[in-house]
Amino acid sequence: MATDPAATRPAPTRRQALGTLGVAAWSACLPTAAATAQQVRSDTLQVLTAWQTGGRAYAGVWTPQSIRWAIALPNRAHQLLPLSARYTGAVREALVVARRPGEYLARVDTRNGRLLHLHTVEVDRYLGGHAVKSPDGRFIFTTESDGDTGQGLIAQRHAGSLETIREFPSGGIGPHALMWEPGGQLIVANGGILTLPETGRRKRNLPQMASNLTRLDSTSGSIVAQFALDDPYLSLRHLALAPDGTLAVALQAEHSDPALRQAAPALALLHSDGLHALAWPADGAALQGWQGYAGDVCWAGDTFWVSATHAGQVMGWSTAGEWRGMLPLAGAGALMPVGNGADGFMAGGSREALSAPTSTSATGSGSAHRLYRLARGWDNHGTLLSI
């Protein structure tokens, strides 16, 4: 009996679909959401971020007046990183990093949302959701995982082609956020959680998870130092650096007991004497609905701000670990400094975005923060642009 080869051929994987689609074909099928306000003043607030609607994932530029542009993505994005035009062409660009375990990177023109390059990552490599530029802008460093061994990796990629030049161990499992330290070394938050595309977002190794901060020599790829908390079920996720060199780490609790998750700390600080989680203020009780989940962290106005997504609050601690208060924001997630933190910060929620000046401190302080209505809640992260 004759068979139809097409009927027996296995369905393509996400990676195969991305690899065969190609940039031109992908671009042709994108429902580009042209800006409703084509001319935007250079001093208008503009946020590069991602969101979901109608079952599709998008990235674009939001302004208080409109969505300036939007582009459809193969899958959800996590970080959006502005790139230097010096090494990537004459236009202003940004790198879109797929959410873990991710399989694509994309370069887009931040002026109009044109897709410049869609890159499928190498076989058996899966993105951890974050990237940083090299100081000279020529390279991109991405957090990744080896699909065979689960080992965390840092890949050095060409900023234009996005091809991998070399890779070296991240120092743990599930590397997520990474950043440059003032001394020129890389520091990475190894979240300790293994996820792979064949099992989606299922966490495969929670009984053995071991999260850490690893300081790396980016030239040799060697481990310089490692730091860990006493509680192995606290996943180190996102990073922020204060001008005095204090590093903050936003935490996500993975305890199976809901009571332990609720009691878990939100933030840890790295000082010269090591990495230490901060206690909750006053009576030591976490805020209602906290559930052990910090969405993001940034530094602004001598304060580390942490988004408590489930509790609907943005919480502040000083660089010395002192409680600074909180501001309500439903679904609080993405945080971004304004003017490198000197002019305050912005936060994205499920229904509103919040803009807070450097004077913002405790709840009820009377600070002149401002709220903007959102048609769609922002995804995990955002970056302020000056276009």
Question: How many angstroms separate the CA atoms of 202 and 186, rounded?
Answer: 28
pLDDT, position 20: 37
Question: How many angstroms separate the CA atoms of 125 and 145, rounded?
Answer: 6
Q: Are 274 and 296 in contact (CB under 8 A)?
A: no
Per-residue model confidence as pLDDT tens digits over 208-265: 678 999 999 999 999 999 999 999 999 999 999 999 999 999 999 999 899 999 999 9
Q: Tell which wins on pLDDT, 383 or 363.
A: 383
Per-residue model confidence as pLDDT tens digits over 99-148: 988 899 999 999 889 999 999 999 889 999 999 999 888 899 999 999 88
Per-residue model confidence as pLDDT tens digits over 274-320: 999 999 987 767 888 999 999 999 999 889 999 999 999 999 999 99
Tell me the Cα Rg of the chain: 21
Identify the helix (H) or strand (E) that includes residue 369: none
Distances (CA, A) of 357 to 248, 295, 335, 343, 352: 20, 21, 13, 6, 17
pLDDT, position 341: 82
Scan for tokens 């204060």, then name that residue. Answer: 242
Q: Where are the alpha helices (DSSP H) in 67-166?
A: 85-88
Identify the helix (H) or strand (E) that includes residue 350: none
- Full-model pTM: 0.85
Tell me which of 85-94, 156-165, 302-311 is least confident: 85-94
Q: What is the mean pLDDT of the chain?
A: 83
Q: Is 19 helix (H, G, I), strand (E, B) or coil?
A: helix
Question: How many angstroms separate the CA atoms of 353 and 68, rounded?
Answer: 16
Per-residue model confidence as pLDDT tens digits over 323-373: 998 999 999 999 999 887 888 899 999 999 999 887 655 444 445 788 999
In one letter, which amino acid is 178? L
pLDDT, position 106: 95
| pLDDT confidence band for 197 (50 / 70 / 90) | low
Query: What contacts 24+ positions apart, CB below 8 Å, involve 193-196?
Result: 193/235, 193/254, 194/145, 194/150, 195/100, 195/101, 195/126, 195/145, 196/101, 196/126, 196/145, 196/147, 196/150
Residue 301 makes CB contacts below 8 A (sequence gap 6+) with 341, 342, 344, 345, 357, 358, 359, 360
Residue 261 makes CB contacts below 8 A (sequence gap 6+) with 253, 254, 255, 291, 292
For the beta sheet containing 294-300, the strands, ordered from the edge strand earlier in sequence to the opposite edge, are: 294-300, 303-308, 313-318, 323-328
pLDDT, position 385: 85
